[in-house]
């Protein structure tokens, strides 16, 4: 999500030629409004909190995404402390994630870096 305009353009291009389910995997959700606009065009998002700087932007997005009928997932690395905050119930969370070098993607998914 460092380049939301590029992500948005790519999603529009994919949607013109495919009805495939689209999920965005990201750690950066700095621009909440742009992320919500993109999320409205795809099937879901998986946000990974790699370090403390990812926590506040995630909770801002989580609040803005309330009511969206999308797949909402968050992965939280073991070095990230979310403090007293609770992950909203409309988000599926995996906590205490450990880094895996060259982490493989699931067999039924295609990963595209843009």
**3-class SS shares of the chain: helix, strand, coil, % to 5:** 30, 20, 50
Report whether pLDDT(66) > 80.
yes
Mean pLDDT of the chain: 89
Residue 12 has a pLDDT of: 92
Handedness of CA 43, 4, 88, 111 (dihedral sign): positive
Q: Give me the mean pLDDT over the 28-48 stretch.
A: 93
Using a pLDDT cut of 70, give the percent of the chain over it. Answer: 95
Residue 52 has a pLDDT of: 94
Largest CA distance in the chain: 44
Q: What is the 3-state secondary structure (H, E, C) of 62-110?
A: HHHCCCCCCEEEEEEECCCCCCCCCCCCCCEEEEEECCCCCCCCCCCCC
* 38 in Cβ contact with 15 (< 8 Å): no
Can you say whether residue 56 is alpha, beta or left, with left for phi > 0 and alpha for psi between -120 and 50 degrees?
alpha
Residue 114 has a pLDDT of: 59
């Amino acid at each position: 999500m460092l380049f939301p305009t590029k992500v948005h353009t790519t999603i529009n291009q994919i949607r013109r030629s495919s009805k495939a389910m689209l999920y965005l995997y990201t750690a950066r959700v700095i621009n909440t409004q742009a992320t919500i606009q993109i999320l409205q065009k795809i099937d879901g998002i998986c946000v990974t909190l790699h370090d403390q700087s990812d926590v506040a932007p995630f909770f801002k997005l989580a609040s803005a995404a309330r009511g969206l009928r999308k797949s909402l997932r968050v992965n939280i690395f073991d070095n990230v402390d979310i403090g007293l905050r609770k992950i909203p119930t409309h988000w599926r969370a995996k906590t205490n994630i450990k880094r895996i070098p060259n982490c493989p993607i699931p067999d039924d998914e295609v990963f595209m870096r843009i």
